[in-house]
Every structure is written in structure tokens, then in C-alpha cells.
Amino acid sequence: MKKIAVVGYGVIGKRVANAINLQDDMKLSGVCDIISDWRIQNAVRKNYNIYAATQDAVDKMKSEGISVEGDLIELLKMSDLVIDCTPKKIAAQNVAIYKEKNIKFILQGGEKHETTGHSFSAESNYESAININATRVVSCNTTSILRTLTALKRANFLESARGTLLRRATDPWESHLGGIMNTMVPEKDIPSHQGPDAKSVDPELDVVTAAVKIPETLSHMHYWNVKLKKKVSKDEVLDAFKTSTRIKMIRYDQGLVSNNTIKEMFLDMGRPWGDMYEVALWEDMLKVQGDELFYAYVVDNQAIVIPETIDAIRALTGLEKNAQDSILKTNRTLGVLQN
Amino acid sequence: MKKIAVVGYGVIGKRVANAINLQDDMKLSGVCDIISDWRIQNAVRKNYNIYAATQDAVDKMKSEGISVEGDLIELLKMSDLVIDCTPKKIAAQNVAIYKEKNIKFILQGGEKHETTGHSFSAESNYESAININATRVVSCNTTSILRTLTALKRANFLESARGTLLRRATDPWESHLGGIMNTMVPEKDIPSHQGPDAKSVDPELDVVTAAVKIPETLSHMHYWNVKLKKKVSKDEVLDAFKTSTRIKMIRYDQGLVSNNTIKEMFLDMGRPWGDMYEVALWEDMLKVQGDELFYAYVVDNQAIVIPETIDAIRALTGLEKNAQDSILKTNRTLGVLQN
């Protein structure tokens, strides 16, 4: 039973903590943050061991009546591995502490590949992460790219892939951070960072992305144009995608016509926060034309990396040496939909 | 001096009427509609001759105190050519009347190519429209596709083009029609209709489009991935685009970072309704990689077809036999920005 610390109890951290609690081979040693408002109250309700990042934060939390176990250093002492889910750039600062305390650590996709020297996506490179000291679970968009392109690559169909990424403006609970309304805001650089980021996991991929921010908060949407190595049928492409256990084929003609209908379906299913761990790929929109493939899918930016993070824990701690065994165990515990 | 009737005084019709009034070789014979609310009051303010489509509409307008010249048939008698800007499908019904009255007519892009047998985009096929009886000015998205791809084709750079079209949800003045919020709604079919529609003007184009509706009302945005016939430099691509007088190169690093900043610039310039007749293409986002070209641009769906419609009038009436002469005259009168 490995003891796992979650540092940063925000959008990703609270989901990772929740997912760890669903596993039988690891336990949550505690969560650590600096906030003392309504957000940490969710950890209180769940009876997590709560730690504060700094002594100041310990004092602030105590003044708010929160029972605090100690500071970050004390949490690390109680843990075999730490998942850092703090906002972009802060994790990079925490890394010095993790290294000094000689504890294994997992960062999220907002950090640079160089910070850990290893980037992780379960279906692509689980084995290379076994027993190493640190990895970075790639971002939501990059995770979806790797799942889908790796499935095409396994079938030996993939020549090159060009994607347009329509990014949600901000997270649902946020009011302003990155929010936009009644406009679209492209990222200046082509390629956008997600294509090169996918190569940090699989350098062989020929992938170029362009990204644009959209005034909605639910999830991302990707449009892809893939050059195939050979002419294959639509059914063969669907079969290739189905070799991934984390791509859920959906049907437009079943009424799943938009980000919000997909979100509602996952809320209907009782998923925590309505989370969608799967890439939701439209089967009936997908088109093969000659040696080209066109398709679109939706990515839940808050949830897609959660199963990946659980797998990364198993790889780094050596809990499970077989990628597929870890993936299927994670899928089972989280209720990932199978095709 | 050719006398031009505008039937349908909505988003496109009011702009066409305004543009006709800026020309010295044609005059507006009148505008015709069925509405008698605030929208037609703009025609009253401009002292246009106002006609009503039906006798009922004549009576209704008169009851609202609007001075009405007569019905549609009477307007056609006073005109050499009619521009039908009525909503989708209604124009197709009006065509029977135009044919019976033996008057030349121009439809807008919502109608099918088969309705006229000719589809028009000034820089692509002006000559083929000279002195013919009817044409259809292709839609806003298709117009932008033709301008840009025709420019690449002229330079012999274009092999094939694949585009993702991010469509505005509804027009700025509408409250509900097609409106969506906090989501994205893809069109089910790939290719979406715009790619095939561009081939109605230029059958040689190898173009595939996919389209998705975005919760904003200002304009469309397109992302393109083009296969080039040969390796060329970014400067050569920019030079090719600049052979179109209706593509305006814009710079992200000049603060034009989104649909709304672009809109504000055209309002600053005093364009009527802040209209942008040009395709606004990001010069500093454009990327050449090997034999591939990536770029994005913005399309003002309310305005881009206005210069095309003026040119179509000149072609059908034989006012001008030379495409470039008509285009430059239209550009000058409308104040189209030159690179």
C-alpha cells in the first residue's frame, strides 16, 4: 500500500485525491494547499488529512477552524510519492524540495518536460516510467492527442496528423481567469505547444497543432486531418481507435451534438463533477477519403489526466509492471466506459 | 446607369443597397421587404424607394405610416436587375417570378447552385458571368475560401487544402436564431458544405472543410492546412496572397489578437456597421513547414459578399467586361484596404 500526497487541491488535485481513494493499492496520505476558503472545505468534508504548504498557511487555516496536520515537509515524511497539482510554474519551484527530501514526484502538464526529463501517457510509454523518480503527466490536450494518434500508430495507419484545437476559455468554477466572451482568440504561434508536447512522449509522431480560445468553459474540441499510410476503411479506423480503452466512440445521431450534451450525459451517469475521463470521438462524423482521415472529438480538460495520473503512480512506485494491467484496473475503479 | 432592385432588406440587403448607392454606374431602384418594424425605418431614413413583397405587406406598411411605392412586381418593372437577399429558401421561390418577368437576378449563398446554374466569386470567375441572366454570389465562408485558395492557385502553389471553420452562432442583432451559449456545436457531416460549394465556382479545387458553431456573434474564423505543390518561402506565400486585393494581411503583434479587436478596428475606421469586406489573414501566424502551409483568418459574414455582389451586378449587366477593373472600382468606392 503506497502512501500518496497531493500538493495543490485545485481543479486537478481534488480529482486526483478522489481517484486515489478509489484504489486498493494506494492510499492518500494527505492533501496540501495554501487556501483556507470554501475549496479546502471539500477536503474537510471528505476527512482527508490536511496540510498547509507554509507555516503562514498553517496559521491561516487554523484561524479558519480547519484541523491541520502540519506543513508540506511533514506531509512528505508521511508519503512514498507526491503528486504536484499546483498552478503552472509553482510545481517547478516545489521540485527542489522534493529532490532534497528524496521523494518521488509527479507533475502535471503545465510544467516543462525538462523539469522531470520524462513525460507520461499511459498507453504510450508506461513501461519507460517504471521505478523512475519523477515524471510529468502531459496536459489534457496532449493526452487526447497521444491516445488517438497512438491508436492509429499501433495499427500502422498513421503517417502524419494536423489538428485544430478549440480550447475552452477558462474552468467552469472560474469567473475571470482567462475568460473571454463573444469572440475567439487564436494562439499566435503555429505550431501551438501541444503538437511538440506530444513528441516529448513519442518523438516519432509527425504532428502539427494550431489552437484557438473559445468563449465556453465546458471542454475542448479537436478537429483532425490525418494522412494515412495506406487506404483503409472507416471500420478499420474505428477498430484501431477501439484498441484504446480510453477513447469512447459517441454518436451524433444519438443526440450527442455538442460539448454541453456530452457533459450532461456524464452528469447523468453520476460521475464526480460530471467528469469525462475518455476522449469522446464522434463515430458518425469520422470520414475516410482516399488516404486521408478526418474526425473530431471532445476533451474534458479537468478530468482526462486523472486516470493517467493514477497509472503514473503505479509505474513510478513499481506497484504494477504491466501497462495494460494498470490501465484496466484504473478504468475499472473509475468506471471508464468501454466500447 | 443600371437600375438595381434589392429584395429582402435584412443583414445582406441593407448592405447591398448601401453599396449600390456608392457606385456611379448603377442606381438603387428600390428595396422590397415584408417587414414594417424598426428595420425598414432605416430605408425610410435613407429615402430609398420602398416596395412591399405582397399586397398584404403593402397594407401593413401603409398602416405603420411608411410611404410605399408599390409591390414586388411594380419594383421589377422599374429595374434592370434584382438582387434577392431574402432568407434561405425564399429566394428560390422568387426565382419563378423573376423568370416570368424576364429580369436578370442575383441570389445569395444560402441558395443552391442549381437554382441559377452559375455561382460567382469575383476574383475566380467574373468573366464567365458577363451578360448571363442569373448567378448566385457564394456564401461568406465560401467567398473567403475562394479568395485565398485562388490566390495560392494563381501562384501555382496549391496542391490541396483542408480547413476547420469556426462559425459565429448567429448575427449580432439576433437574440435567438441559431444562438448557442457556453458550448460548441459541430456540423455532423465532413466535409461540411463549404468545401464542395467552393467547387461550384472552381471545380479544380481539392478542398475539404469541417465546421463547428461557436458561441459568439462577430465573425467566422478559419484554420487551414494547405499542401503546397513545391517548397516555397513564407515571403513567397505572402506575395501570392497579396495578389488578391481583398485579402488584408494583419499582424497579431499589432494587437489584432481576436475577432473583437478586428471588429473594433473597422468600427474605428468608420465603416458602415463596422463592416470588413476583406479576409483578415494573420501574416505573423502564417507558417510554412516543408511543403505544408498553415494559416488562420477572420471572415465578416455580414460584409464579405458585398463587394462580390457589386461586381456580379457589373458582370451580369455587362457594365464592365474586365474583372480587375470592376474589382478595383468596387474596392475604391467601398474603401477596401490594400496591402
- Mean pLDDT of all residues in A8-21: 98
Min Cα separation B260/chain A (Å): 6
Chain A interface includes B214 (CB < 8 A) = yes
Chain A interface includes B328 (CB < 8 A) = no
Residues (pLDDT < 70) of chain B are none
Closest residue to A216, CB basis, from B215, B257, B285: B215
Helix, strand or coil for residue A28?
A: strand
Per-residue burial over A123-157, b if 16 or more Cβ lie within 10 Å, else e, is bbbbeebbebebbbbbbbbbbbbbbbbbbbbebeb
For residues B181 and B215, the answer to whether their CB atoms sit within 8 Å is yes
The four Cα atoms A222, A223, A229, A230 give a dihedral, to 10 degrees, of 130
* A45: pLDDT strictly greater than 90: yes
The per-residue pLDDT for range A314-327, each reduced to its tens digit, is 999 999 999 999 99
The four Cα atoms B64, B70, B73, B75 give a dihedral, to 10 degrees, of -100
Q: Which residues of A touch B296 (CB under 8 A)?
A: 186, 190, 210, 212
Instruction: Report the alpha-carbon distance of residue A234 to residue A240 in Å, rounded.
Output: 10
Task: Quickly state the pLDDT bin for A206 (edges 50, 70, 90).
Answer: very high
Chain B interface includes A170 (CB < 8 A) = no
- Determine the pLDDT at residue A336: 97
Any known ligand binding at A301? yes
- Determine the pLDDT at residue A257: 97
- Determine the pLDDT at residue A188: 96
The per-residue pLDDT for range B33-80, each reduced to its tens digit, is 999 999 999 999 999 999 999 999 999 999 999 999 999 999 999 999
The per-residue pLDDT for range A22-36, each reduced to its tens digit, is 999 999 999 999 999
Chain A interface includes B59 (CB < 8 A) = no
- Mean pLDDT of all residues in A143-163: 98
Instruction: Report the alpha-carbon distance of residue A185 to residue B61 in Å, rounded.
Output: 43
Chain B interface includes A265 (CB < 8 A) = no
Q: Which residues of B touch A297 (CB under 8 A)?
A: none
Q: Which residue of A has its CA nearest to B260?
A: A183
Q: Select the residue from A164, A167, A250, A267 to test the B interface by mutation, using most B Cβ atoms within 10 A.
A: A164
CB contact under 8 A, B221 and A184: yes
Per the structure block, which three cell numbers stand in for A220? 475542448
Min Cα separation B192/chain A (Å): 10
Helix, strand or coil for residue B26?
A: strand
Q: Which residues of A touch B208 (CB under 8 A)?
A: 225, 289, 292, 294
Any known ligand binding at A33? yes
Q: Which residues of A touch B180 (CB under 8 A)?
A: 258
**ω before A191 within 30° of 0 (cis)?**
yes
Min Cα separation A334/chain B (Å): 26
Chain A interface includes B216 (CB < 8 A) = yes
* A177: pLDDT strictly greater than 90: no
Question: Where do the domains of chain A lie, and which CATH numbers do they carry?
Answer: 2-138+305-334 (3.40.50.720), 140-299 (3.30.360.10)
Per the structure block, which three cell numbers stand in for A138? 502531459
- Determine the pLDDT at residue B46: 97
The per-residue pLDDT for range A75-126, each reduced to its tens digit, is 999 999 999 999 988 998 999 999 999 999 999 999 999 999 999 999 999 9
- Determine the pLDDT at residue A70: 97
Please name the amino acid found at residue A108.
Q
The per-residue pLDDT for range A219-261, each reduced to its tens digit, is 999 999 999 999 999 999 999 999 999 999 999 999 999 999 9
What are the beta bridge partners of residue B226? Answer: B161, B293
Task: Quickly state the pLDDT bin for A178 (edges 50, 70, 90).
Answer: confident
Please name the amino acid found at residue A11.
V
Active site residues of A: 140
